[in-house]
Chains A and B, each alone.
Chain A
Amino acid sequence: MDLELTETQTIFRDTIRKFLEEEVPFSRVRELEKQQRSDEALWATLGAQGWLGVALPEEADEGGLIEAGLLVEEVQRRAALVPVAEAISCAVTLQRHGSRERAPELVERILSGEMTVVPAILESVDRFGEVAAEVNDDGLLSGEKFFVDYASIATHHLVAAQCRGAVGLYLVDRGQSQIETTSTPTLGRTPAAHVRYQNASAEQLCGEDGHAFLIQFARVLCAVQALSCMQVALEMSVAYTSIREQFGQLIGTFQAVQHHAADMAIDTESTRFLVYETLDALDRGEASEEQVAVAKAAASRAVPEVVMLAQQLHGGQGFIEENDLYFFTLRGKERSLAWGTTEECLALIGRSVEAPERWL
């Protein structure tokens, strides 16, 4: 057992952090957010410089899902508007469960940034298991998808659909006129859309197992994003309460303030362990649906508590958009709801509580 990042992983994290801090000032994110756009320049750079490839290295010791998690976490620390989690979840799914002829080439094109592929799973009712979108015998896909993150900038969607009752993942080129996207602005201020497909040409790439894996993997990456928001909110709170004075003393010296910060730390640390433990298990093909649900439930439940305590400790200062805190508050809650809410994950865990648990 080794609970620390390896030296290579630490270097990787620090390098990407430094790169993003220089490349992505928050002022730029604010501007893009206002225009409801994504960061196309950053997206191109991430692809061109090979950052996305870290999830699927040629040599096993050069990366993997932990590294993918680190990348997603760092990108979220800058509140950057790029579909890193979306594209990586599609690429890894294709590599593990995609058709043997097509997958290698597609994965390469996704990781180089040449293609931007995002998952399109959820339908009108917010449940992951139910797939009504249909592919007919001519290979044409029809149906609706909701909450497709970065739908309008993606070149392709990886759509969950069924053909004669068998669920699979279909690659759909967004350029076709048979696709209609309507933007659905949300709390998190990241671009998302409602998408309608009407006899869109579609290519099947995965079956049921790929569909199931994609949901599990995207769910953990979403938990990483929530974790990242908690982490930044905590760090900002510690920093702010260490310089803000009221009543002639630093507010960080008040016990009430310290106890809030301590609770935030407990939430963040426990979530960090569970989320990375699950990524590690997923990398080895050993993560159960329940383990993923535990990690996401922990993250989903904790993130609103932590970001709202951060708001509380910042007082008025944290509430204005000149301050960076709001990025993490709003994105954090959005991530809490995406890819399985607390309630949905609890329901999953609840279904198997009587199964014996290995606590050690």
Chain B
Amino acid sequence: MDFRWEQEYLEFRDELVGFLRAWRTPELLAEYDRGEGTPGPAMRSFYEALDARGWMRMCWPVEYGGEGRDPLYRFIFIETMEYWGMPYGDLTFTSVAPTLIAFGSETQKKKYLPGIFKGEVRFALGYSEPNAGTDLASLRTQAMRAGDDWIIQGQKIWTSLAESSTHIWLAARTNPDGPKHQGISVFIVPVDAEGVSIRPLHTMSGLRTNETFYDGVRVPAENLVGPVDGGWNIVMYALNFERVGLAAVGDLAREFDLFVAYLKERRPELLDDPVTRTRLAELKVDLHRQRALATRNAHAIASGGIGIGEASMAKVHGSELRYRFSNTAMDLLGRYGALSEESGALAPIDGGMELTWRMSPILRFGGGTNEVQRTIIATRHLGMPR
């Protein structure tokens, strides 16, 4: 055993950190914070600089603009970006693009990938339906063949970012008769296609998401991704990429550091209290546990394994920790801990803990609910009887 990172990884990390220090301007952070979906000028030039270095796609095959590096680079990249709270492309970049590379036709790759690099093509993910959440395979939105086209009819829910996207990455039923996993296909649906409508849903985290409706939406056959009825594997592949970011420890580690720095500067009497120190120590142990699980998962993937159990463990522990961490931090801050960003200078860390607490449910039930993840750990990882 040798737990040390090889020199080349550390060099990459240092280079990336140096780059981020230079680019992490207040304008960029303000723009990113507003989270409007369509990048503004500061974010556009940042993405350009990032793209010029090829870091977002360095693990992709050379023929699609990548460098074919091993997935541990991707892990370091994501962890570092998360720690510094910098944008690194949303799910279009982290999930749709690699899935297109794996399953898309040559025409699709030529048509969409360059636009994805430039931020001109942006996808919203249309998987969930009102009656197909955890049980995603029972989705009912239908796509019917009509000559050279497909006609789509149905409803999706939680189609986040649809309002600022150019396309929807849609899972639809193409075979209502067979086993449910074997009758699903993936389509690329332009948001402005006739028959697509969007209704906003406002969440308690402040994030907007949407219901999307498809009323006789016609798309050409070339918008089908992969084989007819072969969409389930594609969706699972894309979801795996989506989950890589979920288990990251980086942003929690940053919040921990910010929290301690805040206490040191503004509430020294709290930091002197041995109880506070014990709570912080407990959180620190948990952060290291998360680092262990996330690193193990990345290593399993890089070694060519599937890492199903590892991914689930990191996802469950990371999302539970997000709640526990923000909950404890708020308790330590007392009522100050509940002040939201609108309270201005009074709010500790700009209301960061309160916001993390409010957002924490998403990751516990999103990306595969923790209940189902635990079942996966028990059955697929531990081999317990089903």
Q: A316-B128, A338-B335 are contacts. A254–B342 as well, Cβ < 8 Å?
A: no
The listed residue (B327, B335, B362) touching A319 by CB distance below 8 A is B362
- Contact pattern, B 352-386, Cβ under 8 Å of A = 1, otherwise 0: 00100110111011100111001100000000000
A260 to B357, CA, bound (A): 19
The yes or no answer to A311 lying at the interface (CB within 8 A) is: yes
Task: Report A-chain residues with C-beta under 8 Å of the C-beta of B275.
Answer: 343, 346-347
The listed residue (B331, B354, B374) touching A187 by CB distance below 8 A is B354
Does the CB pair A185–B134 fall under 8 Å?
no
The yes or no answer to A245 lying at the interface (CB within 8 A) is: yes
Query: In the complex, how many angstroms separate the beta carbon of B351 from the nearest chain A beta carbon?
Result: 9
The listed residue (A248, A308, A342) touching B331 by CB distance below 8 A is A342
Chain A: residues with Cβ within 8 Å of the partner, total of 45
What residue in chain A is nearest B269 (Cβ atoms)? A125
Task: Report A-chain residues with C-beta under 8 Å of the C-beta of B332.
Answer: 341, 343
Name the segment of A65-73, A86-94, A99-107, A327-335 touching the other chain: A327-335
A2 to B364, CA, bound (A): 41
Does the CB pair B343–A246 fall under 8 Å?
no
Task: Report B-chain residues with C-beta under 8 Å of the C-beta of A318.
Answer: 361
Q: A311-B365, A330-B358 are contacts. A186–B340 as well, Cβ < 8 Å?
A: yes
The yes or no answer to A285 lying at the interface (CB within 8 A) is: no
Query: In the complex, how many angstroms separate the beta carbon of B135 from the nearest chain A beta carbon?
Result: 4
The yes or no answer to A126 lying at the interface (CB within 8 A) is: yes
Does the CB pair B203–A337 fall under 8 Å?
no
- Contact pattern, B 85-112, Cβ under 8 Å of A = 1, otherwise 0: 0000000000000000000000000000
The listed residue (B334, B342, B364, B374) touching A126 by CB distance below 8 A is B334
The yes or no answer to A170 lying at the interface (CB within 8 A) is: no
The yes or no answer to A122 lying at the interface (CB within 8 A) is: yes
The yes or no answer to A184 lying at the interface (CB within 8 A) is: yes
Which of A235-293 touch B at CB < 8 Å? 245-248, 254, 256-257, 260
Task: Report B-chain residues with C-beta under 8 Å of the C-beta of A146.
Answer: 335, 346
Does the CB pair B365–A126 fall under 8 Å?
no
Task: Report A-chain residues with C-beta under 8 Å of the C-beta of B131.
Answer: 245-246
The yes or no answer to B76 lying at the interface (CB within 8 A) is: no
Does the CB pair B365–A315 fall under 8 Å?
yes
Does the CB pair B205–A341 fall under 8 Å?
no
- Contact pattern, A 91-129, Cβ under 8 Å of B = 1, otherwise 0: 000000000000000000000000000000010011000
What residue in chain B is nearest A125 (Cβ atoms)? B269
Does the CB pair A333–B340 fall under 8 Å?
no
Task: Report B-chain residues with C-beta under 8 Å of the C-beta of A217.
Answer: none
Does the CB pair B335–A185 fall under 8 Å?
no
Task: Report B-chain residues with C-beta under 8 Å of the C-beta of A191.
Answer: none
Contact residues of B: prevailing secondary structure: helix
- Contact pattern, B 206-240, Cβ under 8 Å of A = 1, otherwise 0: 00010000000000000000000000000000000
Query: In the complex, how many angstroms separate the beta carbon of A77 from the nearest chain B beta carbon?
Result: 18
- Contact pattern, A 304-345, Cβ under 8 Å of B = 1, otherwise 0: 100010011001101111100010011001101110011110
What residue in chain A is nearest B355 (Cβ atoms)? A187
A257 to B374, CA, bound (A): 12
The yes or no answer to B285 lying at the interface (CB within 8 A) is: no
The listed residue (B133, B323, B346) touching A315 by CB distance below 8 A is B133
A246 to B129, CA, bound (A): 11
Task: Report B-chain residues with C-beta under 8 Å of the C-beta of A122.
Answer: 335
Task: Report B-chain residues with C-beta under 8 Å of the C-beta of A337.
Answer: 330-331, 334-335, 337-338
The yes or no answer to A147 lying at the interface (CB within 8 A) is: yes
The yes or no answer to A296 lying at the interface (CB within 8 A) is: no
Q: A319-B205, A326-B204, A343-B331 are contacts. A311–B134 as well, Cβ < 8 Å?
A: no
Most buried by A among B131, B346, B375: B346
Query: In the complex, how many angstroms separate the beta carbon of A248 from the nearest chain B beta carbon?
Result: 8
A125 to B270, CA, bound (A): 10
Does the CB pair B338–A333 fall under 8 Å?
yes
Does the CB pair B203–A319 fall under 8 Å?
yes
Task: Report B-chain residues with C-beta under 8 Å of the C-beta of A185.
Answer: 339-340, 342-343
Does the CB pair B327–A304 fall under 8 Å?
yes
Does the CB pair A247–B204 fall under 8 Å?
no
Which of B299-315 touch A at CB < 8 Å? none
A336 to B360, CA, bound (A): 17
Query: In the complex, how many angstroms separate the beta carbon of A155 from the nearest chain B beta carbon?
Result: 23
Does the CB pair A322–B343 fall under 8 Å?
no
Query: In the complex, how many angstroms separate the beta carbon of B288 from the nearest chain A beta carbon?
Result: 23
The yes or no answer to B21 lying at the interface (CB within 8 A) is: no
What residue in chain A is nearest B276 (Cβ atoms)? A343
Task: Report A-chain residues with C-beta under 8 Å of the C-beta of B201.
Answer: 320, 322
A319 to B205, CA, bound (A): 8
The yes or no answer to A194 lying at the interface (CB within 8 A) is: yes
Does the CB pair A330–B204 fall under 8 Å?
yes
The yes or no answer to B158 lying at the interface (CB within 8 A) is: yes
Task: Report A-chain residues with C-beta under 8 Å of the C-beta of B331.
Answer: 300, 336-337, 341-343
10 A–B contacts from the bound complex (CB under 8 Å): A186-B339, A245-B131, A248-B135, A248-B138, A256-B371, A311-B361, A312-B361, A322-B201, A343-B331, A347-B275
Q: Which residues of B contact A (CB under 8 A)?
A: 128, 131, 133-135, 138, 157-158, 201-205, 209, 269, 275, 279, 323, 327, 330-340, 342-343, 346, 354, 357-358, 360-362, 364-366, 369-371, 374-375
Q: Which residues of A contact B (CB under 8 A)?
A: 122, 125-126, 146-147, 184-188, 194, 245-248, 254, 256-257, 260, 300, 304, 308, 311-312, 315-316, 318-322, 326, 329-330, 333-334, 336-338, 341-344, 346-347
Per CB-CB distance, the 6 closest pairs between chain A and chain B, nearest first, are: A126-B334, A326-B204, A256-B371, A311-B361, A246-B135, A187-B338
Apart from A256-B374, A316-B133, what 16 extra A-B contacts exist at CB < 8 Å?
A: A126-B333, A146-B346, A147-B335, A187-B358, A246-B131, A246-B134, A256-B375, A260-B371, A300-B331, A308-B364, A315-B134, A316-B128, A322-B201, A330-B358, A333-B357, A337-B338
